[in-house]
Amino acid sequence: MYNGIGLQTARGSGTNGYIQANKFFVRPKTNKVVTDSSKGFESGHGTAGVTGKANKEILEDDRKRQIELKLLVLEEKLTDQGYTDAEITEKLDEARKTLEVAAAKENEDWGSNAVVFSDK
């Protein structure tokens, strides 16, 4: 035993009883004085490199995904209700047009250029 650390005896422990110092232990510094604790956040601190503007292409892709998700849910509902494939495609086309118009109107409401999604 060394300074109250370790085994009383190494007998029966499966070790040789040798005690090593932990070289990776970082002791806290006690003599460090905090000098400038009144310093507040300045503009730009805490943003960690995040820019303020969102990428338009990513936002457009997200809107397209939301439209397609709504169309998939609608397609499942129509299939469960027993509509034929022709009726389902017709209703999905109508719904797609209304959702694209709604997305374009929402885009205009935010003050940016209207984008109508034509990808299917």
- Of residues 43 and 111, more confidence is placed in 43
* pTM, entire model: 0.48
Using CA atoms, how far apart are residues 54 and 62, in angstroms rounded to an integer?
12
Residue 98 in tokens: 């209304």
Side chain identity, residue 24: F
- Of residues 13 and 77, more confidence is placed in 77
pLDDT tens across 24-61, in order? 888 887 776 655 555 566 666 666 666 667 788 888 89
Rounded average pLDDT over 52-73? 89
Supply the range of the domain harboring residue 62.
56-109
pLDDT tens across 85-100, in order? 999 999 999 999 999 9
Assigned domain for 34 exists: no
Assigned domain for 21 exists: no
In sequence order, what are the residues at sequence separation of 6 or more whose Cβ sits closer than 8 angstroms to the Cβ of residue 27? none
Assigned domain for 82 exists: yes
Give the pLDDT of residue 35: 57
Give the pLDDT of residue 113: 47
Quote the number of domains for the chain: 1
